[in-house]
Chains A and B, each alone.
Chain A
């Protein structure tokens, strides 16, 4: 489903070129659960952003379901992100002035889903995260674990095919982190393709397929976890 071949991503810093991704080739099948690990600065986030269509490679080909998506216009990429990809961030990225429900509603609003259909979908997404009783709370009134669960509800409300999580437990204590991982794995077992970037070996090893990165390259790949 996701096919990367010889992806490079360079950043120009002053008159120096940083090779954040230095020839990454990778194929991810639908429904796979994989973790990406590696030292800081090895290019994990850069890779994730590329797969999530938030960034474009300097060179290389990225095919999503057989179609070359690097050439898509901003508008088309936006639609792919909206319809197919869910993001979960380390810093939650909830809009502070909106309630939990309103935060979850955002992707639906951007997609132009009529208000009558949104309420139910938001409710379901929050209920799946056991947050029904928190829907009217602002992010500042929620704990870290609850915030991340709101973020996961928001990432899944459009029922995407791919869920990307960049250090989803990085800002959480151990217990809430465990909860979040369990929720993500639950989604994975329901069929979503799950990609988790993490520093935490314990979490990373739970994935069926584990990637290690070093200096912008894939150092090891535990192999297709033949999902």
Chain B
């Protein structure tokens, strides 16, 4: 009598008692079956599954693409900023409230002068000091002329900014207040004015004053939008009178790497305060610049991630919608499963599994889509740096799965809590 089995184990499943051979204790489904049932119901509605998956995929792709661009941009900017070296300090005239914002409107600060720069050279840990003025002027050589950027600089510029001289020499160590009228050309400037001819010893005219070319810089390319090759370098004192200014734009100080930056800042402060009588200048360390840059880029990355987050939210709503519809449509199936002995937790698991599967597949496709687009973008615009760290990839997939869980939990709970009798009656 096979059908007559005594009902003596209705109470909580007892895992210590032997059951039918191989049977799981307490109605635990096999994961493979679970997966099979989930995939089955997903493939039964291909278009619907595809569209829901697409919602998540687009969201993940947006996040991956945008953060890849953001991260690429960050690395690009960092390398731009640090290529001059990290042990640099910039001094600008005017007191700043926060790094970069001058309070110059009061107009009471004293100018930053070449003598100030000379005084800083006497500090023990200072390796190079570069006074710096910038402006535009007309440059003529023979019958060619060109309007370009003029950099008034000190003799130590190549050392301070790790720039190399390609031909001849940089500006000599003249008396900084009355330097001789020498000029050094950027590599592009040299071609514009002299073509292939040797420019050394040639005379050029800058806004009516005559200079002798003594050197040509090696090509440096564009840094933060400045074409450093399309320039002429002249002594700072001459640039001041050329542009009719009494203050330098900036003094850049290269210090010994072993010295802590705080000591350098203190020393500069003391020296300049002694000369000016008060702190009417601003010192910006490379680290501060990097911090400002970093926070700007962080804001950028966060806002970009927020945009992606919104598309993910839309994707999540898509999952909630489709799962709610699925629960309604399949309530008679849910009732059946319950009649066949499915526990609430098994029904919950099945529907949650579907939501997570949709989200996980969407996440993976989104990763492929996002990284593919990033790659194509990089091919089309090589200048635009793109970088997708592995941690982002892992995080994106984790986020996708989490979205599936969160979006699936409400519909799945509804499915699990359906009254079996009513569920069976629904058609």
Contacts and interface: CB of A to CB of B under 8 A. Distances in A.
**Real complex partners, A and B?**
yes
Interface of A: 30-31, 49, 52, 54-55, 64-65, 67, 69, 72-76, 78-84, 87, 89, 91, 93, 95-98, 106-107, 109-117, 154, 158-161, 190-192
A106 B5 contact: no
B5 A97 contact: no
Nearest to B41: A97
A111 B3 contact: no
A73 to B, nearest CB: 8
A74 B347 CA distance: 12
B333 A95 contact: yes
Interface of B: 1-8, 10-13, 20-30, 32-33, 37, 40-41, 44, 332-333, 335-346, 419-421, 424, 427
Interface centre among A31, A74, A117 (most CB of B within 10 A): A74
Nearest to B13: A79
Contacts of B44: 96-97
A40 to B, nearest CB: 14
Nearest to B24: A112
Interface centre among A89, A93, A116 (most CB of B within 10 A): A93
A114 B340 contact: no
A112 B101 CA distance: 70
B3 A160 contact: yes
Given A79-B10, A82-B341, A89-B424, A113 B336 contact: no
Contacts of A73: 12
A64 B341 contact: no
Contacts of A154: 340
A80 to B, nearest CB: 5
Nearest to A193: B3
Given A55-B420, A76-B12, A97-B40, A106 B7 contact: no
A83 to B, nearest CB: 7
10 contacts: A49-B420, A52-B339, A67-B10, A74-B343, A75-B345, A80-B7, A83-B341, A93-B333, A159-B5, A161-B7
Contact of B3 (A72, A80, A114, A190): A190
Nearest to A54: B420
Given A54-B420, A158-B341, 7 more contacts: A76-B13, A87-B339, A91-B332, A97-B44, A110-B340, A117-B21, A161-B7
Contacts of B24: 111-113
A191 B22 contact: no
Contacts of B335: 93
Nearest to B5: A161
B4 A54 contact: no
